Amino acid sequence: MPRNQKKPRKPKNVKNPKKPKCPKKPKNPKKPANPKVPKKKPRKALQTGTTIMGLEYDGGVVIAADSRVTDGSSVANPLANKLTRLSKYHYSCCSGVVTHAQQMCNIVKNRIRAFGDKLGDPLPVHMVAMMFRKTVQMNRSDNATDIITGGWDKHHGGQIYYICPSGMAVRLRIAISGSGGSTIRGFLHGNYRKDMTLEEAVDLVTKAGELALAHDPFSGGVMRIAAVNETGTIKYGVVSLNRPAFGLTSDMLWNLEFKYK
């Protein structure tokens, strides 16, 4: 087409043909009915619905715990060892979810070994408690355990610390936790003295354990008791609470843990 020639104009009355519209999709299309598949419920974690306690006596500390581990309404393990030997001068026990408790104790146990090799002397008890506190705070979202740790050092003697699930650590003369702790709290505070001997402290813990196991359905089995003083950990024994079979089995477990290591 030459440059000067203009394009022909379209007539004004002629309209552009409309394009066919696409059919609209329904806003909420009905899905075909599928058979309902039952969802699997997540399995509950094993819990130490338990009775744990620790107290300071004149010269050291005594720590005790029962041995029942529950899975909902059933007993998963009647003879579990809830006392963890962190070192010769440090002990701990936990209540709550078993996996969380084992994880916390293993982390702190490895740290104590690392620091102990460098320093040589037994670590101060408050330093071990701060290790637990830091570990709990770093895993606060997943943590569901109460921790009682105790031991002896040359600076402050026997000490008991309680670490709550939120990561707070506080020193107490009597520390109690677990589902059976509410049944024996008044008994322990009413009969405790600062100048108790080792035998008196063990006798008090034994009586408190009998009361807790008698009134708390989630506590049971046997009571394991350990004492720590300036000579180190004392393998004091297992209280079978009038159950000879449990007592014999628990003594064998203690011998395997301490005597034949």
Catalytic residues: 50
CB 175, CB 56: distance < 8 Å: no
Contact residues for 211 (Cβ-Cβ < 8 A; gap 6+):
183, 184, 187
Q: What phi and psi values does residue 233 have, to the nearest 5 degrees?
A: -80, 135
Pairing type for strands 83-87 and 60-65 reads: unpaired
Looking at residue 183, its amino acid is T
Whole-number Å distance between alpha carbons of 249 and 24? 76
CA angle 96, 97, 98 (to 5 degrees): 110
- CA end-to-end span of the chain: 106
Contact 215, 179 (CB under 8 A): no
